[in-house]
Structure 1
Amino acid sequence: MNILFLHGLESKLSPEKRTILEKYGAVIAPYLDYKSNPNMIQHLFDTYQTQNINVIIGSSMGGFAGYHLANNLGVGALLYNPALPYIGTIEQIVPVNIAMNQSLFMRIVLGGQDTVIKAKDNLTFFAQNIAAKTDYTIAIKKDLAHQIPVAVFEEETKSFFKELCY
């Protein structure tokens, strides 16, 4: 299994989280400069459309890109505090020329204490953008803020792959 990990703004995949992901497959974790490239989703699509990407995992701005890319590639996604309701904060162009295959499964993890990307704003986004072909699991962690602790990452990753395989 090939896992594409998309980090958040000015972030990267930690060695501890990479180790967790490697239990489930080969991890591809490119460095992404969202501020310099407003066409990051198109760039990611062009780069990975011919590779055998099975799932996308993204956090914050990586969750924003991961949501759109998963729908373009038609693969499952695990998204932590995706920046979906804040499209104007950092310019990112959502391509309209790519066929929409829709992800079949998405697990969304939201932090109840997140002051950067509020859970209620993401819930509003999903309520307005439900895809008919996608099964969603939304987990709201009441004590979770914007940063994802390794223990939560491990627990949610395990749950995601368990749901994905059934």
Structure 2
Amino acid sequence: MNILYLHGLDSSLSIEKRAILEKYGAVYAPQIDYRKDTNSIKTILSNYNDMHINAILGSSMGGFVGYYIADALQRPALLFNPALAYRSVPQEIPNIANPNANLKHIVIGAKDKTIDPKTTLEFLSKSIGIDNYNINIRQDLEHRIPEEIFKEEVKEFFKKLCY
């Protein structure tokens, strides 16, 4: 299995979280400068066009990018606090047809002060019926994803995929 992990703004995939993901497959985690590349979705799609990606994971800005990459590749996605309704840096959103509903397991921190959970839920409510959403609102979660919560959610996500 090939897993594409998309980090948040000014972030990267930690060694500990990479180890969790590697239990499920090969992990590809490109370093993305969202501030310089306002077309990061197109860039990632171009860079991973020839690779068979099985699952997309993303956090915050990477959750935003992962949302659209999952649609383009028709692959399941695990998205932590995705910056869907608001981003502090501009990004182009390509017009991607989504003919089939693909699983999006979305984890939202109720205590997130960086990405307002209410605006994320409002954004998602506008596309209900288009995608297969599994939304987990965690009362114990802020914006940063602690390793233990990451591990729990990754396990739950891959269980849904039967891996």
TM-score (norm 1): 0.93
**Which consecutive aligned stretches of 4+ in structure 1 deviate over 4 angstroms post-superposition?**
none
Structure 2 residues without counterparts, runs of 5 or longer:
none
User: Is 1:49–1:73's contact at 8 Å kept on the other side of the alignment?
Assistant: no
What's 1:94 paired with? 93
Question: Structure 1 residues 102 and 29, CA, compared in 2 at 3 Å: closer, same or farther?
Answer: farther
Q: Distance in 1 between matches of 2:101 and 2:17?
A: 23
- Please provide the CA RMSD for this pair: 1.4
Measured in 2, the distance between the counterparts of 1:59 and 1:35 equals: 16
Q: How many angstroms apart in 2 are the aligned matches of 1:135 and 1:47?
A: 26
Q: 1:92 to 1:102 in 2, by over 3 A?
A: farther
2:23 alignment counterpart: 23
Who is 2:34 aligned against?
34
Does 1:124 pair with 2:149? no
Task: List gaps (5 residues or longer) in structure 1.
Answer: none
- Equivalent-residue separation in structure 1 for 2:98 and 2:48 (angstroms): 15
Distance 1:117 1:41 in 2: 20
Instruction: Report the Cα offset of residue 119 of structure 1.
Output: 1.3
Deviations 1:35-90 (A, max 9, x none): 00001000011111221000000000000000011001100000000000104x31
Q: Which residue identity lines up with residue 107 of structure 1 in the other structure?
A: H
Change in CA separation of 1:56 and 1:103 when aligned onto 2, cut-off 3 Å: farther
Task: Tell me which residue corresponds to 1:109.
Answer: 107
Change (3 A) 1:103 1:47: farther
What is the CA-CA distance between 1:23 and the residue it aligns to?
A: 0.3
Q: TM-score, normalized by length of structure 2?
A: 0.95
Matched, 1:49 2:49: yes
Structure 1 match to 2:158: 161
The alpha-carbon deviation at position 121 of structure 1 amounts to 1.0
Between the aligned partners of 1:50 and 1:101, the Cα distance in structure 2 is 21
Letter in 2 for 1:78: L
User: Match for residue 5 of structure 2?
Assistant: 5
